[in-house]
Amino acid sequence: MRLLLIFTTLIIVTASCVVPKKQFDELLAEKVKMEADMLDMQTDIDKLTSRKDSLEVALETTSANKEATEKELKKTSTDLANLQAEHDKLQTYYNNALNNSGKMTRDMKEQHEQLLALQETLDGATYNNKQLEDSLILREAKVAELERIVNESQHAIRELKGNLSAALLDFGKSDLTIEQRNGKIYVSLSEKLLFKSSSIQVDPKGVKALQQLAGVLETTPDIHILIEGHTDNVPISGKSKYMQDNWDLSVLRATSIVKILVAAGVKPNALTPAGRGQNLPVASNDTPEHKALNRRIEIIITPDLDKLFAILEQSNE
């Protein structure tokens, strides 16, 4: 409109002036063309305005729909989560029920198998009980035989101790002691009775005691005799090629005793020499008197229990 006003003004001004007709016609044509263009532009503006209004309405509708959709989506999501939780709960119940059903089936099968196994066990126990009843008399007889052998062994040990005490009555307690412990007889002979210091040669008095001891042992069947040499903790003097320490001294002294007993009639297969050195004292090595107690020969007499072990082995078969 402003352009049209300007153009009209120009025409009026121009008309008021003297211009050539050709120029006037050109201006007039230009005016007509501009009016036509303006009309087209106004039409476009109206269309755009109408389109804009339509878009605004569509935008409002879309926004409203979006809000409604978001609300519906939120509600649907909540419902879906609740349904999923309910589904998981029901699935758990179903799985538990299924497992329990399977477990019950397995338990029934296991109980049936256990019942069959118990029946077999019962049958086996009945058979074993019959066998036990059959062998009870035999076992009682073996027990009686064991008791007889043990009693005889204990009686023999007591009798042997009495005989040894009588045979060695000439020797004092400071030189020789006889004890019965744990079914064995322990004859302890002091170094003073048997040897000089660091010597393995038995003195005549000691030989006499061993010969009297052998007189009892050679007439006693079914015994084992262990000869143990013991020393104090004082290192030996006068070391030699075959005697370097108290171990060697204790072993060689035990061997010397064995030889005297064998010469006096004791069976060699009943004798075993051993050396303990200073490692099994009967007193602390803090005084000369205690050291003297540790320097000794112990003769340990054990009844031969081979018959007893044979019966025990038969019982275990």
Is the confidence at residue 315, as pLDDT, over 70? Answer: no
Q: What is the pLDDT of residue 256?
A: 96
Burial of 185 (0-12, 13-18, 19+ CB in 10 A): buried
Is the confidence at residue 4, as pLDDT, over 90? Answer: no
Tens-place pLDDT, residues 75-133: 888 888 888 898 888 788 888 877 887 877 888 888 888 888 988 888 888 888 787 77
Map tokens 């005889």 to a residue.
Answer: 152
- Please say whether the beta carbons of 166 and 176 come within 8 A: no
The mean per-residue pLDDT over the stretch 53-67 comes to 84
Q: What is the pLDDT of residue 295?
A: 95
Q: What is the pLDDT of residue 279?
A: 95
- Picking from 249, 241, 255, 234, the residue whose alpha carbon sits closest to that of residue 199 is 249
Q: What is the pLDDT of residue 52?
A: 83
Residues sharing a CB contact under 8 Å with residue 189, sequence separation 6 or more, in sequence order: 175, 176, 206, 209, 296, 297, 298, 299
Task: Give Dmax over CA atoms of the chain in angstroms.
Answer: 188
Q: Where residue 14 falls among pLDDT bands split at 50, 70, 90?
A: low
Is the confidence at residue 142, as pLDDT, over 70? Answer: no
Least confident of 31-40, 245-254, 287-296: 31-40
Is the Cα torsion angle 20, 22, 24, 27 positive or negative in sign? negative
Q: What is the pLDDT of residue 13?
A: 56
Residues sharing a CB contact under 8 Å with residue 311, sequence separation 6 or more, in sequence order: 142, 145, 146, 149
Is the confidence at residue 277, as pLDDT, over 80? Answer: yes
Is the confidence at residue 50, as pLDDT, over 90? Answer: no
The mean per-residue pLDDT over the stretch 58-80 comes to 85
Q: What is the pLDDT of residue 5?
A: 62
Q: What is the pLDDT of residue 195?
A: 92
What's the angle, vertex CA 77, arms to CA 73 and CA 81, rounded to 5?
170
Q: Can you state the angle between helices 204-217 and 246-263, rounded to 10 degrees?
A: 60
pLDDT higher for 258 or 37?
258
Amino acid sitting at position 204: P
Q: What is the pLDDT of residue 316?
A: 59
pLDDT higher for 155 or 231?
231
pLDDT higher for 209 or 20?
209
Q: What is the pLDDT of residue 7?
A: 60
The mean per-residue pLDDT over the stretch 241-254 comes to 93
Least confident of 164-168, 206-210, 260-264: 164-168
pLDDT higher for 259 or 162?
259
Helix residue ranges per DSSP H, the chain: 2-16, 21-167, 191-194, 204-217, 246-263, 288-294, 306-316
Q: Where residue 19 falls among pLDDT bands split at 50, 70, 90?
A: low
CATH of 148-314, one of 3.30.1330.60, 1.10.10.10, 3.40.1650.10, 3.90.180.10: 3.30.1330.60
- Break the chain into its structural domains and give their ranges: 148-314
The mean per-residue pLDDT over the stretch 1-11 comes to 61
